[in-house]
Structure 1
Amino acid sequence: MVIVDSTGIHSLPVVFCGCQNASRWDIQLLDLGLFPGSVRDPQTAFTFQVLDDFALNNLVCKTAILSFHTKLKRMTNMAFPSEVPDHYLPLLGVTQQWQNLRYRKWAGVLYGHDQPLCPRALALFCPACPQPGINIPMNWKEEPREWLYMRSFVMDGCFRPEHLKMTNPWDDISLEDGSQYMVALGPHKDHLQIVIDHKPKSTCHNHKAVSQANADRHDLDATGIGATVCARDGCFAPHSAVNFQKGERYDPLHAFDCSWLMSAILMTLGMLCLIMVLYDVMCQYHVNLKKRISESHHLASAWPSGITMQKGTGLFHVHGHQNSCTPRFSLDYIVGASMIDGEIVETTWRPLDKIAGCTRTMTTSHREETLNDHMGYWNFMKCVNMTSSICRKLKAACLGVESSHEAFEELDGRIDDELRKVWIEQEQEVYARRLEDPSAMDIFNVSSPKGTLFSMA
């Protein structure tokens, strides 16, 4: 039998137990820490060590499986690696199974045809996001500051992880469709069949997300991916990533909406009713959002009643918009946004960019599983480093609150009481109208005639 190990590819004699009550050959191999290349009459086996070694190399060093297999051949015969028999295809199939079984073990999900995977079943969720019954007080509904338990998400797209069309798409089997971070392919494709293709006309500046809306590549099955992350800590939201079919146009983002709503709202069992969603071109995206949702049964069924959604744009991108977009969508004007900058999603694309060259030619299911694996590793490392990160942010916030309070008290002391009362009433009025009419926030867009000089008395 051929045994593939971290030390190389070896051909060794193997004698199986032939007793009457002996287990099947594949079970005997698994008991010895060897993963069989096939269930029936296995002729190749891979040690658990080599499978763990590749998983770590792929996640940390972004090593492609072909490069890893080439290294094993060099380790087997340094002088003549071409003389070593090729076992790339068996290694490719086994690593996919190993990855799926590893996630099932961590999530406590059984394996079998009678145990279908539920959406998000194998995904890690951000432990710092408000979760009733887990990390917030039992009487959280009595808190008058509703924004204290508001969940915040950032949506964005990346165009590096392209995917070529498969020659034989019917010859493809998915092991974890929709169970982690990428949405289920079936409902996504069904949704795209009913959406109306249109060219969005921007009413703001010519942003990249809108100008690339009609970027089309006939040889590509996906022109990129879009994902949703938690705005505070940058963890990928489960079942929240979709393939872009034609640039970052609005239509694929409809399924994008469905994904983050399913993960952000249904996961909380409808208990949390306030969320904040940030997007680079929210000024364009929000206009017909309710109409587009009502036109698709896939989205309408995923949108529960009683949900309040705050809409905003990251602090870096909002200043590239028109002046009117700043008070309407800037985080500086959203109650409860706190220290969020809305740009943390940009950091999540770095590890995915490094594997874009490998995933471009993979099968659809293998690409989905690889992206899920790297998103899950990103979330895992976020969880590991979250304690030190939160402590560091807490110290900075305490210092910031003290200095901001002193500056506010000094400025507030200079304002007339009647004028302060009028301003407070105006503020309450515009914030009450903001959700339905963002233009109400234009009252904060103070402008002065050209040539006017201000002096501080």
Structure 2
Amino acid sequence: SYHDRIPLEDDYEVVQARTASLNSRNGPINTQVSSLPAPWTIGSGWAPEDSYKFSLDPDDEWFDEALDANVDDIMEEIIAPRVKNKRIIRSEGRGDFAREQQCPDCMSRGNQGASTAQFRCQDCFLPDLTCGGCFIRRHKLNPFHNVEVKLHSKSKAFSNFVTTEMERFAFRTDHLLRRRLYPATQHKVRTCVTFALLKLLHLFSLMGKVSTYDMYRTIERLTNNSGVQMPKPRYRPTMRCLNQWRHLKALKRAGRGHDPEGAAGTSNGELAIRCPSCPHPGINLPEKWTQAPEDKRYLYMALICMDANFRLKNRLNSNLSVDPGLWNGMAYMALRDPYEKYVLSQADEEDISTCVGFQALAKATTQNTRGLHYTGVGAALPLIPKFHEPAHLEKGHEQYSFNLAEGIGLADGECPERLWGSHNPLAGSTRSMGPGTRNDILDDNFGHWNWLKYSSMGGSILFNIRIALLTMVHYVSEDEVQRQLGSDESEMLRATGRAPLHQTSASSFLVMGLELEEAKRRLKMFAAEQEKIPKNLRTSALRDQRKILKEKIQNWEAVRLVYMPGVLQIQTDLGRNPTALWNSDPNPEDVHLWLPSEIPSAKRNAACIEGLPEMELRLRTAQCGSSLQGLRQALRIKTRMIYFKNKNIRGQRGGTRSRSIIDRVHRRAIGFVQKYRAARQAKLILEGPGTWEQTYRELRNEDIRGFASGKPKKAPLRRASESESDPDLDAQEGGPVGPPRKKRKLGTGETRKQLSWIWQTLPLSMSSEDDDDILRAEWARSRARVRRASEEVMLVREEMRRVLEFLSWRSVWWEEKQYARSGVDSEMKEGIRAYAIEQAALQQTLEASFRQLYETPLAHVDD
């Protein structure tokens, strides 16, 4: 057929092969040559070989292969598919107890007439079957387990049998509470909720911000998910129990149960959790803190922030007479009567907003507020928080900036925003609540938020001290950088004391060489730009510039023979004769100039006249300073142009023109970068390493940036409103330059900005015209960042001390509560004492844990 193999006359069907191997000494072992069939002879055609593995049904060839196979042959193992032992459906029947007809409990007690085993508990660990009497006997201490009746292959689930029996009796409230059952009413109790369920619902509502209705429907569906014969709705009693449970837990944790006056004696805000790091006179402040020096008073200052959340609104679907609430000023929400009076007194006032981006106050008095009890929740510092600062008007930014205010440290003033971010999910569920219940829910959630901060304050403050220490040490090392240039630029030349060898002096010769070197760099950049243009559109400008530069280099080389006579011999030894070089018609920008810095140090003195390398060294030093000064000036001009373009220029025409001007300044800055790198490299060759490297550092790509290092995150902009970025530039003509992109956004970055060293090195000479206001402002900001970092270290240390003092005081406070209440029975006294000891132990545990965390960082910080 078409695919059959064509027989060949030559013996191509046999391949001579030898097995190669090595002995223990890595020597070859001689083996005999053997004949093997060629691989292309296997099979009678090019079509793939038939295989029984592709068949759906096995044939008898498998059995014949097994009989004819040798003992050494390895048969292919057929692996059966893995069976997944998932027997969830098996538990729907009687399972392992299907053969048990009689009650095992009756048989174990020796009852002759054992009853039929048909009752099974769905909540017990052992799912065996018992009779009804034994089932009740087992669950006397577990009355809320669910019973299921198994009748051979049929089963039926019943309601809780204990609940059915409880409906016959009347219980006192204290009896129910002793059994950890919370009654929904004080008289004629018909509904109770277990303490365990209340704890679960409470934590779910705090952690997941789940509404009570959703949680109740979930429990209802756990009882019966069929939708048929649903249990009686108990949503309102459950919600009432949960609201009371929240309030009672807050009273209990605040120690009101240990006070003889009880809940009635609770003062305003007493249920709020105090911040351990905040200053509390008489608790965690030194005795003479009011007499602290002027420069230390900020350590005992309380930082108060104010913000409003207009998502947490409340509809006019109820009133305070129907739903007064339970907390009413005991925690975080203000006391109702004074607050309402103040609101009425300010009803005619108009809010004055200085906010541009956030129209919070403007929207607070719009038509969207009709039919609302409250338009939001307001949670006072005369400073603008760092995140809100860009959205406010520019007037007064320096006066109200956290970065410049004394005694603030690295605080950002955005603590309310973190609170709102966690509690915005409550907006949907609290919008339709009554005013009292809504305030209770918010108080409870705010308390939970404060407790999370309270218990995790060890790690959070430890993080702050580490950031503050790193920032302070970093800025101090930056402040110690040498700012002076090594020598005076005005003294470029020095008299040689000899008769001139040429009409062009040695210093002029070197100046011409440096100018040619710079001209070569400019021509290379121009040639690279011309390469991007199609050949049919190119002009003769590149050819003309190359011709001019070639003539200048040839004229300069004639003078080089006078001041550098040994260069010709070096070129001859290296096979770079200048005559042959120019005959090959090279591009002049690629020609080697052979300045003293380009000659090996062993041959430099022999190739040059005396004092010529020292002259170039002085010129290179001056060149480093002038190129740095030119680079700074170019960056300043580009910065101002970008700010002007982003603020004033719109449209494609204006944007294109301004972009072309900025690009020209950009190319000029690149030229200064290349000039500095060449000058520094030559200075390093001529002088070698030394202290001058502290002034003229290596200019890396990330050092070439504007006044600050941090790049703003580029937000997605519209096509017609594209803004320029930070004035970083590409020093390598195509490679990305600038500070590394931050992987994690840690705020605005103002406190972590740092000036590049090119802005910290003083210029060689600076006239009044060169004095730049922007540099003075950036120097002042850098100084402010250093001071804020130092203040943050002191503030965090003080916070650590205050936290430990507060926890110690709180522990003693709870220990004193053990015997604060009298006139109660012994059982109540024991409960009061046990809870006080438990809370005191909790405070001691937190104190010990925090103290262990604080010891290491505090041990390395000097006062």
Checking the alignment, whether the CA contact within 8 Å between 1:6 and 1:49 is kept in structure 2 is: no
The answer for the alignment partner of 1:188 in structure 2 is 339
Query: Which of these residues, 199, 221, 231, is aligned with residue 373 of structure 2?
Result: 221
Checking the alignment, whether the CA contact within 8 Å between 2:269 and 2:331 is kept in structure 1 is: yes
Quote how far apart the aligned CAs of 1:196 are. 5.0
Whole-Å Cα distance in 2 between the matches of residues 366 and 391 of structure 1?
38
Query: Which of these residues, 310, 322, 326, is aligned with residue 397 of structure 2?
Result: 326
Whole-Å Cα distance in 2 between the matches of residues 408 and 31 of structure 1?
69
**Is 1:104 the counterpart of 2:251 in the alignment?**
yes
Quote how far apart the aligned CAs of 1:54 are. 0.3
1:295-352 CA deviation, whole Å, 9 max, x = no partner?
A: xxxxxxxxxxxxxxxx211122223334432211001221110010112321111222
* Structure with higher strand content: 1
State which structure, 1 or 2, has the greater radius of gyration over its C-alpha atoms: 2
In structure 1, stretches of 5+ residues that fail to align are 19-23, 228-276, 279-310, 415-447
Query: Which of these residues, 316, 329, 334, is aligned with residue 178 of structure 1?
Result: 329
- List, as ranges, runs of 4+ consecutive aligned residues in structure 1 with deviation greater than 6 Å: 3-9, 15-18, 111-114, 411-414, 451-456
Matched letter for residue 221 of structure 1: H
Query: Which of these residues, 37, 45, 53, is aligned with residue 192 of structure 2?
Result: 45
TM-aligned CA distance change 1:412 to 1:386, over 3 Å? farther
Checking the alignment, whether the CA contact within 8 Å between 2:183 and 2:193 is kept in structure 1 is: yes
Checking the alignment, whether the CA contact within 8 Å between 2:329 and 2:336 is kept in structure 1 is: yes
The answer for the alignment partner of 1:338 in structure 2 is 409
Quote how far apart the aligned CAs of 1:34 are. 0.5
TM (norm. structure 2) is: 0.36
Quote how far apart the aligned CAs of 1:168 are. 5.1
In structure 2, stretches of 5+ residues that fail to align are 1-141, 148-158, 486-767, 777-863
> What is the root-mean-square deviation in Å for CA atoms of aligned residues?
3.3
Quote how far apart the aligned CAs of 1:138 are. 2.5
Query: Which of these residues, 375, 382, 397, is aligned with residue 453 of structure 2?
Result: 382
Whole-Å Cα distance in 2 between the matches of residues 194 and 37 of structure 1?
40
The answer for the alignment partner of 1:62 in structure 2 is 209
Checking the alignment, whether the CA contact within 8 Å between 1:73 and 1:84 is kept in structure 2 is: yes
Whole-Å Cα distance in 2 between the matches of residues 356 and 31 of structure 1?
37
Whole-Å Cα distance in 2 between the matches of residues 5 and 81 of structure 1?
22
Query: Which of these residues, 208, 219, 222, is aligned with residue 72 of structure 1?
Result: 219
Quote how far apart the aligned CAs of 1:149 are. 0.7
TM-aligned CA distance change 1:222 to 1:83, over 3 Å? same
1:332 match: secondary structure:
coil
Q: How does 1:105-144 map to 2 (within 5 A)?
A: 105-110=252-257, 115-144=264-293
1:319 match: secondary structure:
helix
Checking the alignment, whether the CA contact within 8 Å between 2:354 and 2:392 is kept in structure 1 is: no
The answer for the alignment partner of 1:86 in structure 2 is 233
1:95 match: secondary structure:
helix
Whole-Å Cα distance in 2 between the matches of residues 44 and 408 of structure 1?
72
1:316 match: secondary structure:
coil
Matched letter for residue 64 of structure 1: S
Whole-Å Cα distance in 1 between the matches of residues 373 and 143 of structure 2?
34
1:35 match: secondary structure:
strand
Whole-Å Cα distance in 2 between the matches of residues 78 and 204 of structure 1?
52
TM-aligned CA distance change 1:83 to 1:141, over 3 Å? same
* Structure with higher helix content: 2
Higher mean C-alpha deviation, range 64-73 or range 198-207: 198-207
**Is 1:208 the counterpart of 2:342 in the alignment?**
no
2:387 match: secondary structure:
helix
Whole-Å Cα distance in 2 between the matches of residues 118 and 51 of structure 1?
26
Checking the alignment, whether the CA contact within 8 Å between 1:124 and 1:376 is kept in structure 2 is: yes
Checking the alignment, whether the CA contact within 8 Å between 1:204 and 1:321 is kept in structure 2 is: yes
Quote how far apart the aligned CAs of 1:409 are. 4.8
1:315 match: secondary structure:
coil
TM-aligned CA distance change 1:331 to 1:5, over 3 Å? farther
1:102 match: secondary structure:
helix
Checking the alignment, whether the CA contact within 8 Å between 2:256 and 2:262 is kept in structure 1 is: no
Checking the alignment, whether the CA contact within 8 Å between 1:33 and 1:48 is kept in structure 2 is: yes
TM (norm. structure 1) is: 0.66
Quote how far apart the aligned CAs of 1:69 are. 1.1
TM-aligned CA distance change 1:320 to 1:412, over 3 Å? farther
The answer for the alignment partner of 2:302 in structure 1 is 151
Query: Which of these residues, 406, 424, 428, is aligned with residue 353 of structure 1?
Result: 424
Structure showing greater relative contact order (alpha-carbon pairs closer than 8 Å, 6 or more residues apart): 1
Checking the alignment, whether the CA contact within 8 Å between 1:4 and 1:47 is kept in structure 2 is: no
Quote how far apart the aligned CAs of 1:79 are. 1.8
Matched letter for residue 179 of structure 2: L
Tell me the matched-pair count: 334
TM-aligned CA distance change 1:143 to 1:328, over 3 Å? same
Q: How does 1:210-249 map to 2 (within 5 A)?
A: 210-216=361-367, 217-227=369-379
TM-aligned CA distance change 1:17 to 1:202, over 3 Å? closer
Q: How does 1:423-442 map to 2 (within 5 A)?
A: none
2:281 match: secondary structure:
coil
Checking the alignment, whether the CA contact within 8 Å between 2:315 and 2:431 is kept in structure 1 is: yes
Matched letter for residue 329 of structure 1: Y
Whole-Å Cα distance in 1 between the matches of residues 372 and 230 of structure 2?
36
Matched letter for residue 101 of structure 1: L
